[in-house]
Amino acid sequence: MSDRPILLFLHGVGGGDWENTWRAPLATSLLEAGYPGLDGVRVFAPKYANALKGVDDDDPLPKLTVKALSGEAAKRHRRDFERRTGAVEMRLGRHDPGNGWFGGGAIVGLAAGAPGFGQANNYLTSRRIRAQVLKRVLGRLPASGRIVVVGHSLGSVIAADVLRRLPPGLEVTGLVTIGSPLGHPSFNVDKLRDTLGGPPSNLAWWVNFWNALDPVTSAKGVSAVFPWMIDHRVQAPPGPAVHSARTYLSQPAVAQAIGFGLFGSQSKELATVDTGIDIPLDYAETVALLALRYAHLTSAHLEGDKQERYAGALRHVQGSTVELIRKRNADAGRPMPSALARLDVDLSDLEAPAPVPGEVTHLSKDEAIVPLISIAAANVLRPFEIEVPKRERRLAMEALTVEMGLGRQIGTDVFVAGERARDVLKIGGTNWIKWLALGLGAAAVVAATGGLALMAAPGAVGAAAVTSALAAFGPGGMIGGLLTAGTLVSAGGGGIAIGLASPGTSAETVEAVIATQLSSVILRQLQGIDQDPTTWDVLAETGIEVRRELSRLRAYSDDSAPILRELKRKLDAIDRALGYLHEHGLGPGEEEVDRDDAELVDAELVDAELVDAVVVDDPR
């Protein structure tokens, strides 16, 4: 087997670019990015333009050769995939993924009469033609090696379609799509969206590059359809070549991704993750390290007096946090992980800087949901109070999730989820972190249940671990507050329902707890992660307890009694949250509705490839 990297280029509609004019701009941009160029690369660029126009052969579709993973194997692959994706994203640097602009899908539909539309439509609707195209692609490929797949326009659809049909010996070290119409429902060929509900086991990472001026992309990326990959927006001048493969391949970011896949050996170097610790972090230590890392990243985005005050407060919080963990571990006979021991701060030396925490890379997206929601919703500098603008908090969270190997988008989505939860519950204010700072309000829920809320907490943490941690750290402070908030986000059973319904728990606290739970639901939605089935049960049980309490107190209380107003406010928040879950198919036995598909009429049989022919792919 040759050790030379392999590049597979899949063209869009048109003549098929027989002269391979795409090679020159890619080779140039690779060299400019510091990579060797294409001289040492085995390049395959199969031509299938005639097959797209119609063929007489009636061969079956090539068989799937890459089996779908399940259980622990699927989880391990997803976790490794997210780490590799995060590494690629760090290479590409910060960017604006963008949301496109209104009406992009309709613009694609207007091109339905274009000459090139026939080729795209043939691939999407004719199983015979699709089989011929896939056969031509697969027939050119070697049986083994490391391959980067680049798909332009309709070629991106073919690339996604061929992934699970590649020879088992081929390791896809990167998939790069450019000018892709996959974000539009018309390109869901053979239910490709369901087939690729998660990354295939032979794929290291996928980056899609799009330009808001490119009509074929419906003026958006494709991560709304495949939330596990990266969308990266690039800029190109307006003109007839805006959709051209040559235009995209001239972009430095595109060359960086392709070069990293060809020469970066990322599938090997990222397979092993060095967490830099001598013993595994437990849940409390992980949350503390994440919070401190987030605080340092936040501090780096501040300036002037605010940055100086923030750094000073962080120095004190870090010193006390490490000391609390050291004492807790000593009492339990547990060694101090070096990742935390090295963060010690000599508070007696006013000039001593706070050591910067290392990266936390051992959590999967599913495991990170609750800690990220908790950290974003809390004051990680407690007891100090320093207002940080939303932009800086968002940038810090994005940087945190990128270095965790989870990707930038989940960092953005943490705040999007919080804002949507606030809108659903109709809680006022512009800073959702302020009213989501559970603090002592969350601790009141624990007190109201005698610890039942914690004892009911499911998941890997376990009730005993949380109870033990809170005994050492208390429900206040940075660590205790985060642990309490996180537990109430993921708690199940009747304990939390009783605590939330209790007259001793304020409506504001109930709104905060429900908002964090709803934020978790929405974040899972945005990231395409399975929902926690206990969320509905907790909300429903809490509603029952609140109604029961309201009925008991209403019998003798004044109609205007503050306690009745508090209970009604709690009930309103619960009903709104349950309404959201029901509306989005997240209740028992319900399936979420794909609104994008439902809203599109057949008349918009939009096949963005049609613009392929209109705007580009001129076979010069």
Q: Which of 166-180, 209-223, 374-388, 401-415 has the highest mean pLDDT?
A: 166-180
Q: Is 444 exposed, middle or buried (0-12, 13-18, 19+ CB in 10 A)?
A: buried
Tell me what pLDDT residue 492 has.
58
Confidence band for 615, pLDDT divided at 50, 70 and 90: very low
The confidence score (pLDDT) of residue 44 equals 96
- Strand order across the beta sheet in which 6-10 lies: 42-44, 6-10, 144-152, 169-178, 206-210, 230-233
Q: With a cut of 70, say whether residue 390 has pLDDT above it.
A: yes
Q: What is the pLDDT of residue 284?
A: 85
Mean pLDDT of 107-123: 60
| Phi/psi of residue 6, nearest 5 degrees | -115, 135
Whole-number CA gyration radius for the chain: 27
Q: Which of 44, 36, 47, 21 lies closest to 246 in space, CA to CA?
A: 21
The kind and range of the H/E element at 169 are: strand 169-178
Evaluate if residue 597 carries a pLDDT over 80: no
In this predicted structure, the answer to whether residue 432 has a pLDDT above a threshold of 50 is no
Neighbours of 247 (CB within 10 A): 21
Backbone angles phi, psi at 149, to 5 degrees: -105, 125
Structure tokens at 238: 């307006």
Fold of 6-272+611-615: Rossmann fold (3.40.50)
With cut-offs at 50, 70 and 90, classify the pLDDT of residue 438. very low
Q: What percent of the chain has pLDDT over 70?
A: 76
* SS3 at position 489: helix
Asked whether the predicted pLDDT for residue 465 surpasses 80, the reply is: no
Least Cα distance to 445 among 388, 402, 503 occurs for 503
pLDDT band at 217 (very low <50, low <70, confident <90, very high): confident
Structure tokens at 149: 């797949």
| Highest-pLDDT range among 76-85, 147-156, 306-315 | 147-156
Residue 585: predicted pLDDT: 86
Task: Give the range among 242-256, 296-310, 418-432 with minimum mean pLDDT.
Answer: 418-432
Q: What's residue 99's pLDDT? A: 52
Helix intervals (H) in 250-364: 252-263, 266-269, 283-300, 304-332, 338-341
Residue 198, both tokens: 């998660």
More confident residue, 293 or 461: 293
The pLDDT of residue 434 is: 41
Residue 385: pLDDT band (50, 70, 90) is confident
What is the rounded distance in angstroms from the CA atom of residue 381 to the CA atom of residue 319? 12
Does the N-terminal peptide bond of residue 200 adopt cis geometry, omega within 30 degrees of 0? no
Confidence check: pLDDT of 55 > 50 = yes
Check pLDDT > 80 for residue 500: no
pLDDT value, residue 471: 61
* Contact status, residue 366 vs residue 404, Cβ threshold 8 Å: no
Q: How far apart are CA 486 and CA 362, in angstroms?
A: 18
Straight-line distance from the first to the last Cα atom of the chain, in angstroms, rounded to the nearest whole number: 35
Enumerate the H helices of 302-458 as residue ranges: 304-332, 338-341, 365-377, 390-403, 408-425, 432-436, 439-448, 452-455
Distance CA 504, CA 550 (A): 14
Look up residue 243 and give its amino acid: H
Say how far apart CA 182 and CA 156 lie, in whole Å: 8
pLDDT tens sequence across 529-544: 888 877 888 888 888 8
Nearest to 185 by CA among 218, 161, 152: 218
* 8 A C-beta contact, residue 145 and residue 170: yes
Flag the least confident range among 11-25, 153-167, 478-492.
Answer: 478-492
**Per-residue model confidence as pLDDT tens digits over 334-363:** 899 988 988 988 665 556 678 999 888 888
Per-residue pLDDT at 448 exceeds 70? no
Exposure string of 548-586, with b = 16+ CB inside 10 Å and e = fewer, is: ebbeeeeeeeeeeeeebebbebbbbbbebbbebbeebeb
Partnered with residue 145 across adjacent β-strands are 170
Polymer length in residues for the chain = 620
Amino acid at position 26, single letter: L
pLDDT at 495: 65
Under 8 Å between Cβ of 5 and 42: yes
Domain boundaries, the chain: 6-272+611-615, 362-404+407-585
CA quadruple 199, 202, 204, 208: dihedral positive or negative? Answer: negative
* Phi, psi angle pair for 177, to nearest 5°: -115, 140
pLDDT digits (tens, 9 = 90+) for 554-596: 888 898 899 899 899 999 999 999 999 989 888 776 544 343 4
With cut-offs at 50, 70 and 90, classify the pLDDT of residue 269.
Answer: very low
Of the candidates 412, 400, 375, the residue with the CA atom closest to the CA atom of residue 516: 375
Q: State the average pLDDT over residues 93-104.
A: 52
pLDDT digits (tens, 9 = 90+) for 274-301: 333 468 888 888 889 999 999 999 999 9
User: What is the distance of C-alpha 398 from the center of its chain?
Assistant: 10
The reported pLDDT for the residue numbered 150 is: 98
Q: Helix count (H) and strand count (E) of the chain? A: 28, 6
Q: Does residue 147 carry a pLDDT above 90?
A: yes
Amino acid at 515: A
Reply yes or no on whether the pLDDT at 61 is more than 60.
Answer: yes
DSSP code, position 198: S
Under 8 Å between Cβ of 173 and 600: no
For residue 236, name the pLDDT band (cuts at 50, 70, 90).
confident
What confidence score (pLDDT) does residue 208 get?
Answer: 95
DSSP per-residue letters across 226-243: STTSEEEE----SSTTTT
- What is the CB neighbour count within 10 angstroms for residue 495? 24
- Residue 465 or residue 553, greater confidence: 553
pLDDT for position 459: 46
Average pLDDT value for residue range 201-218? 90
Amino acid code (one letter) for 71:
G
